[in-house]
Amino acid sequence: MGYIAKLTSKGQTTIPIEVRRHLDLQPGDQMDFSIENGEVKLRAKTRSIMEFAGILGRPRSGRGLTVEGMDDAVAEALAADDRRIVRDWHRHQRAAEISDEGRSEAARKRR
C-alpha cells in the first residue's frame, strides 16, 4: 500500500501518520534515505539498543556477558590502551632526550 505526501517549495513534506507509526518515528528522530535499484527507501535511523540484541550471535561459551562483565571488559581495554599510550610517550621522551644530548655534544665539539 502506498501513501501520498506533498512537497513544499522548501523541499519539506509531512510523513503520513501510518508511516510514522510503522517506523515508530518521534519528533527529532533521524531518518535514512537510500536509493536502491531506482527505488527510494526510508528507514528510521534512531533505534533502541535492544533491537541489536543477539546481532553478533552467542559467545562461544554459550553465555552472554552481564553488564558488570561488559564494564570490566571495557575497563581492561581502556587500561591496556592507557598503558600503551604512557609507554609510547616515555619512549618518545627518551628518544627526544637522546637526540638533544647528541645535539649538545655536537655543538660542544664545534666550539
Confidence of residue 45 (pLDDT cuts 50, 70, 90): confident
The pLDDT mean for the chain works out to 81
Q: Does domain 1-55 have CATH number 2.10.260.10?
A: yes
Percent of the chain whose pLDDT exceeds 70: 71
The answer on pLDDT for 44 being more than 80 is: yes
DSSP designation for 89: H
Confidence of residue 105 (pLDDT cuts 50, 70, 90): low
Q: Which of 35, 1, 33, 34 is nearest to 18 (CA)?
A: 1
Q: Which of 25, 26, 56, 67 is nearest to 42 (CA)?
A: 25
Averaged pLDDT for residues 41-60: 71
Confidence of residue 69 (pLDDT cuts 50, 70, 90): confident
Compute the distance between CA of residue 10 and CA of residue 4 in angstroms, rounded to an integer. 18
Q: Which of 36, 49, 52, 2 is nearest to 22 (CA)?
A: 2
